[in-house]
């Protein structure tokens, strides 16, 4: 995608995981659905970079993006939108039940929820990270897919934008009970402002896309939800 920036599509639910590497730090974007999946990702990060991850960004609180985080302890600081912390505290049972309903082994789901890691750094608007020769911007762009969507912007040639589930390529965007439909198209407008026309946009599920894809998905969502 870009120097020092990589992504992996997980077999389960086609979740996309990001990695951003600097001289002083390694940042992982989302962690998968179980501690076992997180352990595999942590090992692959070490194999890819020769180092442990130093930070994890959670783009939103759905189980397939957060339940692997415990595998990265105690080495990492966890970053998330300020509203995500309360969601993880209140909705542990819902996370476990949703994970099991969508195919996670009940024992693994229970293990992951019991080990759930809440964020150390709560982002309110924007938070800049310096990984050593590599700038990363964490930006609150939601609500939309949830009430706490966080984008990860890696400036460069090209700029890379990790979108979480605000953008999905391998299926239609999913609007659950925690979605904010009338705000979702505006969140995609903000993503496009952050990345511009030449950025690589990394969906929460599926292949990387371009600005045209994001704009077209924005228009589909606007029609779907009756938003101008």
What's the confidence (pLDDT) of residue 73? Answer: 82
Q: Is the dihedral of CA 116, 48, 132, 162 positive or negative?
A: negative
Whether residue 74 is predicted with pLDDT greater than 90 in this model: the reply is no
Mean pLDDT computed over every residue of the chain: 96
Q: Is the dihedral of CA 209, 121, 21, 99 positive or negative?
A: negative
Whether residue 112 is predicted with pLDDT greater than 90 in this model: the reply is yes
What's the confidence (pLDDT) of residue 1? Answer: 80
What's the confidence (pLDDT) of residue 82? Answer: 96
- Mean pLDDT over residues 6-21, rounded? 97
Ordered strands of the 150-154 beta sheet: 126-130, 135-140, 150-154, 160-168, 200-205
* Closest CA relative to residue 213, chosen from 153, 181, 173: 173
- Mean pLDDT over residues 168-189, rounded? 95
Using left for φ > 0, alpha for ψ between -120 and 50, and beta otherwise, residue 156 falls in: left
pTM: 0.97
What's the confidence (pLDDT) of residue 195? Answer: 97
95, 20, 148, 13: CA torsion to nearest 10 = -40
- Mean pLDDT over residues 37-59, rounded? 96
d(C-alpha 136, C-alpha 120), whole Å: 17
Can you spell out the DSSP letters for 80-97? EETTHHHHHHH-HHHHHH
């Amino acid at each position: 995608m870009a120097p020092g920036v990589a992504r992996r599509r997980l077999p389960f639910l086609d979740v996309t995981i990001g990695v951003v590497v600097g001289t002083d730090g390694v940042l992982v974007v989302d962690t998968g659905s179980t501690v076992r999946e997180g352990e595999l990702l942590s090992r692959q990060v070490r194999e890819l970079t020769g180092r442990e991850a130093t930070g994890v960004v959670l783009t939103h609180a759905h189980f397939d993006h957060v339940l692997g985080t415990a595998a990265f302890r105690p080495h990492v600081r966890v970053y998330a939108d300020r509203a995500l912390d309360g969601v993880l505290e209140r909705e542990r049972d819902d996370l476990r039940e949703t994970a099991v309903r969508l195919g996670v082994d009940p024992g693994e789901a229970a293990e992951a929820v019991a080990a759930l890691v809440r964020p150390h750094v709560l982002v309110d608007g924007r938070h800049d990270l310096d990984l050593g020769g590599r700038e990363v911007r964490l930006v609150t762009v939601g609500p939309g897919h949830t009430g706490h969507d966080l984008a990860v912007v890696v400036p460069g040639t090209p700029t890379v934008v990790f979108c979480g589930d605000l953008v999905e390529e391998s299926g239609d965007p999913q609007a659950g009970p925690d979605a904010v439909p009338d705000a979702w198209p505006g969140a995609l407008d903000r993503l496009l402002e952050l990345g511009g026309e030449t950025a690589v946009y990394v969906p929460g599920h599926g292949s990387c896309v371009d600005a045209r894809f994001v704009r077209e998905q924005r228009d589909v969502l606007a029609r779907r939800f009756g938003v101008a």
